[in-house]
Structure 1
Amino acid sequence: MTRVILTGALGRMGRMVAGEIAGDETLSVSRLIEAATHPGVGTEVDGIRVISSLKEIIEDCDLVVDFTCPEAAMAHIATCAAAGKPFVSGTTGLTAEQLETAMNLSTKIPVMISPNMSAGVNLLFKIVQEVAAARPDFDTEI
């Protein structure tokens, strides 16, 4: 079973991903991480205590899934790289410099960054692909 640490665990996407993991017999949530200032730190969700430090428990996982802010995401990817743990991020607002750092770290660990994993945005991406295929003379960008 693949053990997943969720960062940004109490946000909308973190809760949604936790629900999806719960329904998958090949995955389990091993730890929940939230910002130190979040009122949910110290509480328990489904028997898992919410804490604020990834570094302390990075060995308790096979994979980190991140839905935080850009600064936290960059700290988390650095922690993952140091520990040799794969990193998946749905964090929005990463700068070009932060993306370049992530790209460099991807030579050490598997990294997936998708700035928006919500169903609505992914539907928009699909629609744009369809329109672009239908009109090759257009320069289509999001």
Structure 2
Amino acid sequence: MNTVKHLNDSNLQPSPKKRSPFWNNPTLAAVFLASLLATYLDLFFVGKHLYQFPKRPLPTIFSINIAFTLVVLPVLVFVFLWVMDQVNKWGKAGLIVFISLLVPIMEKLAEVMGLFKHSESWEHLYSFFGYLLFLSTIYVFYCWIGNRKG
């Protein structure tokens, strides 16, 4: 990498260092983090045989449903962050709890559709608390990266 040094006798001001546009957009950064976390969590839980994805894109290559972690989840997180910006403090807490309660229901529906399968030892309460922590973490990161008050 080449570095250009400012000449002492030059009248030009050195240009300030610019942050990457990626980190200037808190929503994009939070969506990226959510996708990354979800991918690694799915890899971990699938590797521990706690759940599996019977129907998934490229099953010979990926053991997880990459369509969910790379397309569906980022879109849902984007909508989640947008809604979080629209509500007050109690609305934020209520939204996180509501979505976390909705996840086990959606998991059951995905199981009926053959998209998802849990091991016998899995409790859907794990999903509730997992998404409660996941969504809270994503929102705290979003506020932190955007210098916002949550």
Q: Is the shorter-chain TM-score for this pair beyond 0.5, marking a shared fold? A: no
Normalized per residue, the structure richer in strand is 1
Between the two structures, name the one with larger relative contact order (CA 8 Å, sep ≥ 6). Answer: 2
Which of 1 and 2 has greater Rg?
A: 2
Whose helix fraction is larger, Structure 1's or Structure 2's? Answer: 2
TM-score by length of 2: 0.25
TM-score when scaled to structure 1? Answer: 0.26
